[in-house]
Chain A
């Protein structure tokens, strides 16, 4: 490499060792990796917005340096943490439901129930 190393390029570098894939379709996994990165960035935006709101509530100036220097109290941190938990739970809802479905493997489908309801008494 010549000149200064590019931090952005290096930050995303692959670790040495063949990468394992978990799904039969690696493309789905690629999309999920991109989705996770976007989830992270939405969370970052939301935390920044929360910081701005709290700075405004404190009645101070909202400058870049005020945002950088902001530190939440323990209660504020708990509120922000709770928001992030809710957010992750919302985005990953389908995985929660997959988990719940484990216990109800024998559940009837609507189609089956419809047939059941159509049976004469």
Chain B
């Protein structure tokens, strides 16, 4: 059939679409940054700074939706066949797969852009917060000074696991203070995460915590926790919704980074959440808290930033601190099981090797049930579950629909591994 410019007759009852009107393709991308939830200590963002975050959210989307699938295609079409030809055997493990991938141009370009996008996002967010450092630090000081719910330890020394490397390429990581009382680190983390995730964690980047609270409410309807401990709380993204869901509970949130805790308390207060105390400590030694003094111990996206040396100490502490009948829940990305294809394992390892998350690869290869059991949790009390970020469907129709889009290790869906303390 010849191509024609002649307008066709519209079907009866439907007006003809005006030429040039309406989008050429339906928009399915991230929302504008301006829908982000702003609390009382959220950094100010100028028009152009917002535009930078908008670009970065779109870049991350392009990387995961349009470029990353090419890595899987190159893997099947040429990386795997070439490896098998050269070695006369299939891949032995995920490291074999990853090393083979590093020689493929599609992997290389996807990776270099992913790394560059992360570094660019850090620069964008750091500029936003550092240019207004004095005002931000002052706001947080005014909200937290002399508040008994902020317990800092001036003699605290960072454990090796938080100090060795700047996690996810965030300069200064969670603990560095550029000036005394500095909170620009957490403010940058807070302002940028919405761009990195394309808003998939919700307006307040708390979709994980909202989902955990909902999971507990649904699966344990009779559980009425009075005292809750959040370990590795960060700036409190995911403990705030738990505190909101259990307003009668007392929440203790522990982290190694003083700036996170300062900012966390100010943020929580400004959101009307007043039942959280933020404590600076190494969660491998929580001797300041008495035996059996908590009903629920929670960690969210925390275990992958610990180490084999500290993990048994942390598990043993959770066991000691739980009341009989209490529960511990760790929310993490899924473990690498034998059923998980080696390609998927290698892709999930990307952040470990190329985004400064070194322990990620080590955590995900162990049998966590075994580690929990060795720390004193009875086998039959260990539980597994799954949660996906719960977000406002008005703002994030796509996230709420849970598209099948995979972003190896960065998807807003997690596994829960936990245990009951035998009553």
Contacts and interface: CB of A to CB of B under 8 A. Distances in A.
B151 interface: no
A105 interface: yes
B46 A68 contact: yes
Contact of A98 (B70, B122, B123, B133): B70
Given A33-B116, A51-B47, A95-B67, A88 B58 contact: yes
Interface stretch (B12-20, B171-179, B232-240): B171-179
B54 A98 contact: no
A72 B50 CA distance: 12
Interface string B133-145: 1000000000000
Contact of A7 (B74, B102, B133): B133
Task: Identify which of A23, A32, A77, A103 gathers the most chain B CB atoms within 10 Å of its CB.
Answer: A77
Contacts of A103: 73, 77
Contacts of B354: 20, 22
Interface in A6-46: 7-8, 10-17, 20-23, 29, 32-33, 36-37, 39-40, 43-44
Nearest to B49: A44
B79 to A, nearest CB: 10
A22 B34 CA distance: 34
Interface size class of B (residues with CB under 8 A): 35 or more
Contact of A89 (B66, B78, B108, B110): B66
A78 B171 CA distance: 33
Contacts, number: 167
A121 interface: no
A82 B69 CA distance: 21
A23 B32 contact: no
Given A51-B47, A96-B66, A10 B130 contact: yes
B32, B69, B70, B77: residue with the most chain A Cβ atoms closer than 10 Å: B32
B170 A99 contact: no
Interface string B155-188: 0000000001110011111000011000000000
A54 interface: no
Contact of A102 (B25, B32, B106, B165): B106
A37 B120 contact: yes
B101 to A, nearest CB: 11
Nearest to B102: A22
B179 A22 contact: no
A44 B29 CA distance: 17
Contact of A15 (B122, B127, B131, B353): B122
A80 B146 CA distance: 46
Contact of A95 (B30, B77, B109): B109
Contacts of A17: 164-166, 169, 356
Do most interface residues of chain B lie in helix, strand or loop, or is the interface mixed? helix
Contact of B55 (A5, A22, A43, A95): A43
Nearest to A18: B165
A84 B78 CA distance: 32
Given A17-B165, A68-B46, A71-B34, A81 B108 contact: no
A80 B51 CA distance: 10
B133 A13 contact: no
B297 interface: no
A79 interface: yes
Interface string A51-95: 100000000000000011011100001111110110011001001
B180 to A, nearest CB: 12
Contacts of A68: 46-47
B105 interface: yes
Contacts of A95: 67, 70, 106, 109-110
Interface string B292-321: 000000000000000000000000000000
A78 B23 contact: yes
B178 A105 contact: no
19 contacts: A5-B130, A5-B179, A7-B130, A15-B170, A15-B171, A15-B356, A16-B164, A16-B166, A22-B112, A32-B116, A40-B52, A44-B52, A47-B54, A71-B34, A81-B31, A81-B54, A95-B110, A99-B70, A99-B106
Interface of A: 5, 7-8, 10-17, 20-23, 29, 32-33, 36-37, 39-40, 43-44, 47-48, 51, 67-68, 70-72, 77-82, 84-85, 88-89, 92, 95-96, 98-99, 102-103, 105
Given A5-B178, A17-B165, 11 more contacts: A7-B133, A13-B171, A13-B172, A16-B165, A20-B354, A40-B52, A43-B52, A44-B48, A44-B52, A92-B62, A102-B73
